[in-house]
Amino acid sequence: MRSFGLVLGAVALVSLGACQKKSSAPTTVKIGVFEPMTGANAAGGAMEVEGIKLANEMFPTVKVGDKELKIELVISDNKSDKVEAANAAQRLVDQDKVAAVLGSWGSSLSMAAGPIVKDKKVPAVALSATNPLVTKGNEYYFRVCFIDPFQGTVMANYAFKELKAKKAVIIREVSNDYSVGLARFFSDSFKKLTGDEGAILSELNYNTNDQDFTAQLTTAKSMNPDVIFAPGNYTESALLIKQARELGITAPFLGGDTWETPEFMDVGKQAVEGAVFSTFFATEVPITETSKTFLDAYRKQYNKEPAAVTALGFDGYLVVRAAIEKAGSLDGPKVRDALAATQRFPGAAGHITFDQNRDATKSAVIKVVKGGKFTYLTTVQP
């Protein structure tokens, strides 16, 4: 048995050596895909990966200097868990030695990777993580979407102007930085619009993976709000709205971009009808030439309509590819500088220009659940 182990060890060593020799002359570029493939956020991760993979199939190579290198995607599952996310990011930069990282769906998960990519000087591009803290103070983290101070204002405006709401209740997923941040920006903006410090009747909390919200909802019902703002993960939100309707709450529900998943509809069914949320992109209003390319390719391959975050996945890949090409190098700091200099890059979900905080400035769209479909309502300019 022991000699067998020795032989195995020797084989492993030899093959390791062979691997190292091979990698000294790179023919491929590795791009890390840092997404939740399992756990509470799996559906969001899967939709972004769809977009990244589609872009990879359409544009599989990148020109570095005078060499055409093949781009290899390394998918690392962060398991929708902040601790696992740090491990997954570490694995990508240390073991797989990726040139750049894409993702993750979920601001908390992206923030877990922040110090790691900063430390190893590997540029990372978040696709739909909207919490300001993802990129703040981290010159290696970029994002191709808008941030929550804008998103919160958009929804507060909608509640105040369209729904004529005067009093709101907020229900937050308290363990989720995205939800807590967005709730705060909504609250600030709504109070300013109504000119009433007491416009937010209450801020109620729940935890990720909770399934019973009846206690919070019973409290919310007794306050009789005009509108309920409940940004959070899609399954929890769908269960929450379902239970609210079961308790006889009729106030409209407003939320954020994370609601746009098939699971939100699948779990919530008729109960989520009429739910309104802000997101990044609507297939009804293509913005650039790339939008059309993306939509055609996606519809042909998957035979359905893409979600907004799928378009952002597509864009993230293209932005990184363009930056590597412009930098003419796989060196982290050089790719970073090239990314930072991106100007009006035509992505599928709109033009991308990074501001000094490495955030993209983009318009938001508002969608409503109507007849079991996410339907475009309006576009809001920043």
Chain contacts with another protein (rule: CB under 8 A): 37-40, 42-43, 46, 174-175, 202, 204-207, 209-212, 214-216, 218-219, 221-222, 235, 238-239, 242, 246-248, 263, 265-269
Q: Which is nearer to another protein, 11 or 215 (CB)?
A: 215
| Least distance (Å) between residue 247 CB and another protein | 5
| Least distance (Å) between residue 104 CB and another protein | 14
Hey, how many other C-beta atoms are within 10 angstroms of the C-beta on 57?
10
Tell me if 181 sits within 8 A of 211, measured CB to CB: no
Structure tokens at 358: 């490495």
Q: Which residue has the tokens 């100007």?
A: 343
Q: Which is nearer to another protein, 127 or 271 (CB)?
A: 271
Q: Which is nearer to another protein, 202 or 353 (CB)?
A: 202
| Least distance (Å) between residue 77 CB and another protein | 8
Handedness of CA 178, 179, 185, 186 (dihedral sign): positive
Strand pairing category for 67-77 and 61-64: antiparallel
| Least distance (Å) between residue 242 CB and another protein | 7
Rounded Cα gap, residues 94 and 97, in angstroms: 5
For 7, the enclosing helix (H) or strand (E) is helix 2-23
Helix (H, G, I), strand (E, B) or coil at 224: coil
Tell me if 69 sits within 8 A of 96, measured CB to CB: no
| Least distance (Å) between residue 170 CB and another protein | 12
Q: Which is nearer to another protein, 117 or 169 (CB)?
A: 169
Q: Which is nearer to another protein, 146 or 229 (CB)?
A: 229
Q: Which is nearer to another protein, 160 or 206 (CB)?
A: 206
| Least distance (Å) between residue 156 CB and another protein | 23
| Least distance (Å) between residue 271 CB and another protein | 10
Q: Which is nearer to another protein, 28 or 211 (CB)?
A: 211
For 352, the enclosing helix (H) or strand (E) is strand 350-352
Residue type, 239: L
Q: Which is nearer to another protein, 239 or 320 (CB)?
A: 239
Instruction: Please provide residue 38's backbone torsions phi and psi, each rounded to the nearest 5 degrees.
Output: -135, 170
Secondary structure (DSSP) of 149-213: HHHHHHHHHIIIIIS----EEEEEETT-HHHHHHHHHHHHHHHHHHT-TT-EEEEEEE-TT----
Rounded Cα gap, residues 109 and 100, in angstroms: 17
Helix (H, G, I), strand (E, B) or coil at 54: helix
| Least distance (Å) between residue 357 CB and another protein | 29
Instruction: Please provide residue 41's backbone torsions phi and psi, each rounded to the nearest 5 degrees.
Output: -105, 15
Sequence-distant (6+) residues with CB within 8 A of 10 are none
| Least distance (Å) between residue 51 CB and another protein | 16
Helix (H, G, I), strand (E, B) or coil at 142: strand
Q: Which is nearer to another protein, 202 or 329 (CB)?
A: 202
